[in-house]
Amino acid sequence: MKYKFVLFFLINSVVLFAQKKVSKQFQTLANEVNIYTAGLDNLVVENSDSDFIEVYLYAESYDDQLIKVDENSKEVNVKFAFEGTQTREVIFRKFITKRLQRANVIVKIPKGKKVFVFGENVDLESKNLKNELAIYIENGIVKLNKIQANTILKLYSGNVYASVNNTNLDLVSKKGKIKIDDIFYKEKYKKDLENSNKKLSTNSIKANIYLSSN
């Protein structure tokens, strides 16, 4: 009977912690977009179909979540703030080992603007972004998909995936794996193409880098 009560409480708690959505759309003349990922689990960046920057925040277990934007003539900064019940994972830790809150963001950016991402532990996906992209994080799973423009990635550890057809490469992972198609390389790999104007540069201590040339 006691077990059934606990199970009933947990199920209803999960329902109460439903995901909330906050969005913001704005235009800017700034040429650089800085995205700060503190508090996020996942970030997706992709191109927008308009001249607006679109930000969509989905979060669980927070009473309030905010998208903060500040800008000057050169750059616009996008940050996120969470308020309220941020520690619901403590409820019945004996029965729940996976945290209940989730904070996921999609940022859609017009073509032509440089994109910078800063953070610590975050998973990131670039959905074939046509903008120049620079990512500086500590750890995470980074899915770059098809490289469309110059891309810089610096991280301590994690896994990196990308399609690098006709792309210049400058790869460093001192203690991780570097795999291109079915071939492994140790610590460094570099490739320069005469007819390519895009480049993927990675620098890491422990990240595993998996690339496809198709």
**Residue 73, Cα to own-chain centre: how many angstroms?**
25
CB 155 within 8 Å of CB 138: yes
Report the C-alpha gap between 35 and 55 in whole angstroms.
10
What pLDDT score does 137 carry? 98
End-to-end CA distance of the chain: 57
Report the C-alpha gap between 135 and 20 in whole angstroms.
27
Which residues, given as ranges, of the chain have pLDDT below 70?
A: 1-19, 61-65, 83-101
Q: In the numeric block, which tokens belong to residue 23? A: 């969005």
Report the C-alpha gap between 189 and 171 in whole angstroms.
5
User: pTM for this one?
Assistant: 0.83
CB 213 within 8 Å of CB 166: no
Report the C-alpha gap between 166 and 186 in whole angstroms.
22
What pLDDT score does 60 carry? 75
Report the C-alpha gap between 17 and 102 in whole angstroms.
10
What is the DSSP annotation of 119-187? -SB-EEEE-S--S-EEEE-SEEEEEEEE--S-EEEEESEEEEEEE-TT-EEEEEEEEEEEEETTEEEEE
CB 64 within 8 Å of CB 1: no
What pLDDT score does 12 carry? 43
